[in-house]
Amino acid sequence: MELGIGLGITIFPGWGVMNIGQLFASGEQGAWYDPSDMSSLFQDSAGTTPVTAVEQPVGLMLDKSGRGNHAVQATTTKRPVLSARVNLLTKTDNFADAAWTKSSVTVTGSTVLGPNGVDLVPILNYSGEGLIRQSVGKSTDAINYKSSCWLYSPTSNALTTRLVGDGAVIAGSTTKITVAAGAWTKFESWGTAGAGTTFIRFDVLAPSGSDISAWHPSLTLATDAHLPYQRVNTATDYDAPAKYPAYTQVDGTDDALTSATGGGGTTGFFFSSAVLTTLAGAKQVLWSDAGTNTGYEVSINAANKLQLSVGTGATRVTVESAALSTNARYVLTAWHDGTNIYVRVNTGTPVSVACGVASAGTAEVTQFCENGASAGYFRGRSYGVVYRKDAAPGPATIDAVIRYLATKSGGPV
Amino acid sequence: MSYIFRTIIVPAAFQPLAQGLCEAAAEGDAGKGMFTTGLSPDGTEPATHYISSGPIATEFGDLLPLTTFDEEGAPTTRPGAVATVEAIAAQAGIDLPAGTIAALFAAIDVTEQEPFAAMARLGVQIAQVSE
């Protein structure tokens, strides 16, 4: 059971109550950033223009810890964007719209009652072996997608949905079902759009002469497929209630935030963040106050492993996890207790390496999503960040923080 | 203020000019510090191009050229507002030989593409800084 997410209070059976603010109750330095709390976000770095809707830039993210370590970005192109988008399609409540390309398909002007018994859904006529499709741009990495869509035909017909990457049908994605006359049937298709493809396309096919209706089409990353259908009108107009986790979208080329205060200590440090990375094979910094052989740096390294690197003054000591997957949600946690450094993925077993006192980092300046030298940019989603400068919390508290952040991402732990 | 999304890639030779113009055109520090991420064909330094990608003020975006792509990837390019940008440069005290802005606009790549898609199209990648 979870209560009072907005207050950062989470109750878990067997875990007690976790109030994120309690991490800082004794004046500990650190920060807590919560993209789901729009009142803590501003479009500009000066804090004069609040974020009022999804898909607006985030130039200032207030620190909810009470320590005042707010994260800012002055340059507009370097600002992350607040998002809750999961359905990649547009005009999802109207297949008659021009956003849906129609080949040998016409809009009849008639409607049928949708599966929910409320919506009136347009009837489309396939005058030939046609299809309705919508393409979405994608990055050139291999990405797993899943689509779903309810289809209806007044007569029994073999209907098909499929996914297409740059014009080639994605192997295994074709779902062909002979629907019962007058009954709504949910179709699901999934597959991997390979590396190098720049468009993912969702197709609905039907035999010549058939009338069909389509309702609640959805195309998501496979990792988002468990979320409810999200209505999308345009890229900036879509359903974004709390059931779709809010995140800051970070582009991997220049987006980053910085805090002029905060930083890590020397005998203790704790960092935890819920993320989804879309980049593999390149170092991505999540948090840093590191200088040359000083300070702490939490990253996903070039081997796609969560890594904590600690400067001792003369060298850097690192500890890393097993490899992570792209396009999957994780709560990534790293800490230093003055004796060892640890990394932990979700609630898995921590990996540790001996490490004594750290050497203080760069004048307490904290970087998020880059290394502070215009490199190591993170690409993906950040659902929330909690860090504490000094003594790392105990195991039960770490578990509770991880579970709190997992609720923010909607992902498993 | 309203924002639009743009990915802008400039050849390295134009980096200082693009940085200066963005700083001059934007309000406050909003255009400061752009084009700091280097790109190159093999991902190593030196950078042959620089990228900035993200929200920019709508009125600023309207001054720039814009290349869009249809479903088959065929491009269409809308020209930038050369005269207006020349005026902005002059107002900011940036002294430019005639034709410089036109040359800049001809050389830069401005799209609504996701940055990694734009980089792939141009055959460049982020130039990783060796540690």
> Residue B12's closest CA among B66, B115, B41, B31?
B41
Average pLDDT, integer, range A101-128: 93
For residue A89, the model assigns a pLDDT of 98
For residue A291, the model assigns a pLDDT of 87
Q: Is the pLDDT of residue A5 over 60?
A: no
> Residue B33's closest CA among A130, A76, A219, A138?
A76
Backbone angles phi, psi at B106, to 5 degrees: -70, -25
Nearest Cβ partner for B129 among A43, A57, A373:
A373
For residue A265, the model assigns a pLDDT of 80
- Going by pLDDT thresholds of 50, 70 and 90, the confidence category of residue A77 is very high
Set of chain A residues whose Cβ sits within 8 Å of the Cβ of B4: none
Q: How many CB atoms lie within 10 A of CB A129?
A: 12
Set of chain A residues whose Cβ sits within 8 Å of the Cβ of B128: 282-283, 375
pLDDT in tens, A193-250: 998 888 899 999 999 999 999 999 999 999 999 999 999 999 999 998 888 999 999 9
- Going by pLDDT thresholds of 50, 70 and 90, the confidence category of residue B95 is confident
Nearest Cβ partner for A252 among B1, B32, B116:
B116
pLDDT in tens, A240-290: 888 899 999 999 999 999 998 877 788 889 999 999 999 999 999 999 998
How many residue pairs bridge chain A and chain B with CB atoms within 8 Å of each other? 103
Mean pLDDT over the full length of chain A: 90
DSSP state of B107: H
For residue A86, the model assigns a pLDDT of 96
> Residue A188's closest CA among A147, A227, A229?
A147
Q: Is the pLDDT of residue A145 over 90?
A: yes
Q: Is the pLDDT of residue A12 over 60?
A: no
- Going by pLDDT thresholds of 50, 70 and 90, the confidence category of residue A19 is confident
Mind telling me how many Å the CA of B100 is from chain A's nearest CA?
24
Tokens of B72: 């088959």
Q: Is the pLDDT of residue A379 over 90?
A: yes
Do residues B102 and B79 touch, judged by C-beta distance below 8 A?
A: no
Contact B128 A74 (CB under 8 A): no
Q: How many CB atoms lie within 10 A of CB A222?
A: 15
> Residue A332's closest CA among A393, A384, A258?
A384
User: Minimal Cα distance from A73: which residue of B?
Assistant: B30
Q: Which residues of A257-283 are buried (b: 16+ CB within 10 A; e: fewer)?
A: bbbebbbbbbebbbbbbbbbbbbbebb
Do residues B39 and B46 touch, judged by C-beta distance below 8 A?
A: no
Average pLDDT, integer, range A360-383: 84
Task: Give the strand pairing for A247-251 and A81-83.
Answer: antiparallel
Q: Is the pLDDT of residue A373 over 50?
A: yes
User: pTM of the prediction?
Assistant: 0.90
**H-type alpha helices, A185-292:** none
Distance CA A394, CA A405 (A): 17
- Going by pLDDT thresholds of 50, 70 and 90, the confidence category of residue A3 is very low
Question: What residues of chain B have any CB closer than 8 angstroms to a CB in chain A?
Answer: 1, 3, 6, 8, 26, 28-34, 36-37, 51-57, 71, 73, 113-117, 119-121, 126, 128-129
CA-angle at A399, arms to A397 and A401, nearest 5°: 70
- Going by pLDDT thresholds of 50, 70 and 90, the confidence category of residue A141 is confident
Set of chain A residues whose Cβ sits within 8 Å of the Cβ of B51: 253-254
Distance CA A122, CA A129 (A): 19
pLDDT in tens, B23-47: 888 777 888 889 999 999 999 999 9
For residue B69, the model assigns a pLDDT of 87
Tokens of A150: 């309810």
pLDDT in tens, A317-359: 999 999 999 999 999 999 999 999 999 999 999 999 999 888 8
- % pLDDT > 70, chain A: 95
**Is the CB of A75 inside 8 Å of chain B's CB atoms?**
yes
DSSP state of B124: -
Distance CA B60, CA B77 (A): 17
Q: Is the pLDDT of residue A15 over 70?
A: no
- Going by pLDDT thresholds of 50, 70 and 90, the confidence category of residue A14 is very low
